[in-house]
Amino acid sequence: MSRSFAAELSKLVRRPASWLLLGITLVLSLVFTYLLPYAALAGGTGGPNSDRTLPMLLPDRLVGNSLGGLPVFLGAIMLILGVLVVGGEYAGNTWKTVLLQGPSRSEVYAGKVLALAAGALVVVLTVFVLGAVSGALIAAAESQPVRWPSAGDLLTGIGAGWLVATMWAMLGAVLAVALRAVALPVGLGLVWMLAVQNLLAGVAAPLLDWVAEAQRWLPGPNAGSLVATLGAPTETPGVAAIVGGGQAALVVAGYLVVFTAVGGLLLHRRDIAG
């Protein structure tokens, strides 16, 4: 398995799409978390809540600011990464080539899972570093004191972000295995994350009690609840404390285990041909 992990990690690093997705993640995080709010503040167009804008951008809000995009937008990018890592073997018709080298399907799949987990950790850490630099620069520009979250809060935030990011990546992986493709899993995954779950939360849940109750067990709302309890701005799409942080962490972890297990089972039992 270690050889499969090393091979998958090397492929992930060498794949240009991985770097493109990381770049998009950082640009989205920087622009919507820091640049646009600060530009509105500096230009005097911050709106009725402008007095709250600056404190939200300072380093002590690093954890919440870094996690806010994971339930929807940054999570969607992780889903795409998961599809590419697993579905790329179907698109390139390379499963047989990989398996002829000696490793079993389980070993190759485990290597892909570990590579996705490592990639998710790198993404989360990079977002945190970008947020720390941005918050420190804004504090210096506005002559504000620089106060950082405690080490415990940072580790908790990074762990929660890693959990959510890996869950979305494994959803992409299981869709890729189930559909044996790249384009369709990406399309269906994005429709669910960017449209369906927002419609459920904004339209169906206020009207139907059973939808509101079902939301308490869906991956998106639990991811949003987890990051909300850690300080993510509730104005961010997908961020809302529907359930407590403990339940949210358990549900997200449960989905991660289920997605991983289902993907491995499907890969083991089904024809590898696309």
Q: How many separate domains does the chain show?
A: 1
Which two three-digit tokens encode residue 115? Answer: 């590579």
Please check whether residue 139 lies inside any domain of the structure.
Answer: yes
Question: Where residue 75 falls among pLDDT bands split at 50, 70, 90?
Answer: very high
Question: Where residue 272 falls among pLDDT bands split at 50, 70, 90?
Answer: low
Residues whose CB falls within 8 Å of the CB of residue 169, separated by 6 or more in sequence, listed in order: 78, 79, 81, 82, 85, 116, 117, 119, 120
For 101, the domain range is: 2-269
Q: What stretches of the chain show up as alpha helix (H) in DSSP?
A: 2-14, 16-30, 36-42, 50-57, 62-67, 73-91, 95-99, 105-141, 151-179, 183-191, 197-199, 205-207, 209-215, 219-229, 245-269
Please check whether residue 143 lies inside any domain of the structure.
Answer: yes
Question: Where residue 51 falls among pLDDT bands split at 50, 70, 90?
Answer: low
Model pLDDT for residues 107-122, shown as the tens digit of each residue: 999 999 999 999 999 9
The pLDDT value recorded for residue 167 is 98
CA separation for the pair 189, 242 (Å, rounded):
22
Residues whose CB falls within 8 Å of the CB of residue 190, separated by 6 or more in sequence, listed in order: 76, 79, 80
- Specify the length of the chain in residues: 274
Q: Span 21-50, mean pLDDT?
A: 83
The pLDDT value recorded for residue 261 is 97
Please check whether residue 274 lies inside any domain of the structure.
Answer: no
Q: Does residue 50 surpass a pLDDT of 60?
A: no
Please check whether residue 159 lies inside any domain of the structure.
Answer: yes
Q: What is the CA radius of gyration of the chain?
A: 20
Tell me how crowded residue 213 is: count the other CB atoms within 10 A of its CB.
Answer: 10
Query: What average pLDDT is seen over the chain?
Result: 91
The pLDDT value recorded for residue 273 is 58
- Give the range among 87-101, 160-174, 183-197 with minimum mean pLDDT: 87-101
Q: Does residue 49 surpass a pLDDT of 60?
A: no
Please check whether residue 28 lies inside any domain of the structure.
Answer: yes
Q: Does residue 45 surpass a pLDDT of 70?
A: no
Model pLDDT for residues 215-256, shown as the tens digit of each residue: 899 999 999 999 999 999 988 889 999 999 999 999 999 999
